[in-house]
Amino acid sequence: MQFDSSNLSLRRLLLSLGVLAMLSLLPGCGKRETLVEAADRDQVLLVGNGTEPQDLDPDVVTGVQEFHIMMSLLEGLVSEDPVDLHPVPGVAESWDISPDRKVYTFHLRKDAKWSNGEPVTARDFWEAYKRILTPSLGSEYAYMHYVVKNAEAYNTNGITDFNQVGYKVIDDHTLQVTLNNPTPYFLSLLLHHSWYPINIRTVAKYGDPYQRGSKWTRPGRYVGNGPFVLTQWRVNDVVEVRKSPTYWDRARVRLNGIRFYPIESLDTEERAFRAGQLHVTLEVPLSKIDYYKTNYPNLIKIDPYLGTYFYRVNVTKPPLSDKRVRQALAMAIDREALVKDVLKGGQLPAFNLTPPGTAGYTCRTHLQENIAEAKRLLAAAGYPDGKGLPTIELLYNTLESHRTIAEALQQMWKTQLGVDVRLVNQEWKVYLDTQRSLNYEICRGSWIGDYDDPNTFLDMWLTGGGNNETGWSNPEYDRLIAQAAATADPQQRLEVFQKAEAILMDETPEIPIYFYTHVCLQRPELKGWYPTILDNHPYKYVYLETNADAAVPLK
């Protein structure tokens, strides 16, 4: 060929261009110090935190991820014990409870300060509670305050004078709270972010404090009273907090800072953990649980979590309006096999609704897994061996794990009872809409406790309750839940719950399936981070301790 010689120069040119391009990629390459190693040195915790926070205003947000960040920025009257989350003194150094257990008097410590140096006073709590209950703010968690006298009336425009609500500022350091009923879980409630104080002067500087849209939560503006202060917030990127110089218990705080990464994809999060970018992840992808359990059992943590996975049954539509059909379905599920072979995350099979050990309560009524009895019930309802029973529709929101569970149950019901089930999945908001309008037959549901008490699992099934969504109504059940609320003796109160849950189990408007666990990945140098049923970890007790054995070569 005639241009062979010039080919050579072209080849050389292209080659050198290619090499140049590769070289330009290289700077900074080579085995480097990972982000975690650098953070260990600086005592900065790197946390995978799911989704981007909607806001960091405790009176407006609803999500768990937001709560995790705000726990570092704000502190309520009581604070949580790092091991079992029982309420310990926070801004209030002590409290008195009246004999009828309806009036709580909190004594605030004098050295509690806001991050701008102002003292934290009883007034700040009062202002925050007024704000969250003001209807125009539209706070979705205002209902947490409904245990307080007249709070519900104020929130729903029943009364307009906030002085009638059960909050009273006695002096700068004394706050009195009057409740509707003796509420044994009241102090636990106070741990929730809806009870955090607010520096109303700061909020007012950047917008109307009683409307949405105030821009006070940006770095440089945020005034909190917690162990950390907000230093950086890059949307979809990172939220960074640093140790607060004004926090009253700053001597105990060992971390210099925390970086919360909003990593939405579980796979991305797991990879970030493996590449040494996170100390702790929010969750673990289902497909990776076995791998870690086998290869890195010291890195994967499986802890109980205060939540139940169940199916709602629409009791307004035949054939499921027949209690016997619902019971038969509930009895024919092999929950043991489901958690062991399908879920693999150490979940507990659920034979009732309230997770065992919730504030000392373990339900005595147990659902029987009994195929023969299930068949008998189904036959008694007029459908021997499932004959004559129309195909039942099972609805779930589009997600891989829900589909897997639904398929397993579909199979069990078909083989054990001869019941045909059709699976239907809908996108989240559509699913919520369908569920709310009772346009389903059976539908996936779950409930994570708002606080450590059986009430949070049982009061949702009240007639017309916002989260009932099954059409189920039982006057005796309603009466028992109301009775429990009014019972002062803790033991007696739990007995009332036993009776109530027994009715719920018998009537079966919901089919419990399993109790949640929380599965996450954790580096060994993370200390002071205990398994807690709400997956909350008060950061002032957390620290990082590296030693040679702790180094994990992860490949």
Tell me: does residue 401 bind other proteins (CB under 8 A).
no
Residues between 93 and 122 that touch other proteins (CB under 8 A): none
Grouping H, G, I as helix, E, B as strand and the rest as coil, residue 277 is: coil
Q: Shortest gap between Cβ of 372 and other proteins (angstroms)?
A: 37
d(CA 264, CA 516): 20
Tokens of 237: 């990127």
Question: What is the Cα–Cα distance from 425 to 377, expressed in whole angstroms?
Answer: 29
| Closest CB to other proteins among residues 171, 433 | 433
**Smallest distance from other proteins to CB 201, Å:** 17
Contact between 19 and other proteins per CB under 8 A: no
Does position 268 bind other proteins by CB under 8 A? yes
Q: Give the CA count within 13 Å in the CB-facing half-sphere of 148.
A: 26
Q: Name which position in 94, 111, 428, 551 contacts other proteins (CB under 8 A).
A: 428
8 A C-beta contact, residue 262 and residue 236: yes
Number of residues that bind other proteins (CB under 8 A): 74
User: For residues 140 and 545, which CB has a smaller minimum distance to other proteins in the complex?
Assistant: 140
One-character DSSP codes across 439-474 = --SEEEEEEE-SSSSTHHHHGGGSTT-TTT-S----
Residue pair 146/132 in contact (Cβ under 8 Å)? The answer is: no
Measure Cα distances from 281 to 46, 68, 284, 551 in Å: 9, 13, 7, 18
What is the pattern of x (binds other proteins, CB under 8 A) and - over residues 33-62?
A: -xx----------------x-xx-x--xxx
Give the nearest distance from C-beta 401 to other proteins in angstroms: 16
Contact flags string 459-488 toward other proteins, x per CB under 8 A: -------xx---------------------
Supply the minimum distance, in Å, between the C-beta of residue 148 and other proteins: 16
- Indicate the angle between helix axes 371-380 and 323-331, nearest 10 degrees: 160
No. of helices (H) and no. of strands (E), the chain: 17, 18
Stretch that binds other proteins, among 102-110, 138-146, 325-333, 512-520 (CB under 8 A): 138-146
The verdict on 10 binding other proteins (CB under 8 A) reads yes
Minimum gap (Å) between residue 157 Cβ and other proteins: 6
160 makes contact with other proteins (CB under 8 A): no
Instruction: Indicate if the alpha-carbon torsion angle 324, 328, 330, 331 is positive or negative.
Output: positive
In a 13 Å sphere around the CA of 341, the CA atoms on its Cβ side amount to 7
- 64, 81, 93, 135: which one binds other proteins (CB under 8 A): 135
Answer yes or no whether residue 366 interacts with other proteins by CB under 8 A.
no
* Interface pick for other proteins out of 136, 391, 411, 492 (rule CB under 8 A): 136
CA–CA separation, 246 vs 235, rounded Å? 27
ω into 384 cis (within 30 of 0) = no
Q: How far apart are CA 241 and CA 183, in angstroms?
A: 35
**432 to 451, contacts with other proteins by CB under 8 A?**
432-434, 436
The least CB distance from residue 74 to other proteins, in Å, is: 16
527 sits near other proteins (criterion: CB under 8 A): no
Of the two residues 87 and 285, which places its CB atom closer to other proteins in the complex?
285
Nearer residue to other proteins within complex by CB, 107 or 149: 149
Which of residues 312 and 375 has its CB atom nearest to other proteins in the complex? Answer: 312
Q: How far apart are CA 200 and CA 211, in angstroms?
A: 13
**Residue found by looking up tokens 């009537």 in the block:** 507
CB of 281 to other proteins, least distance (A): 12
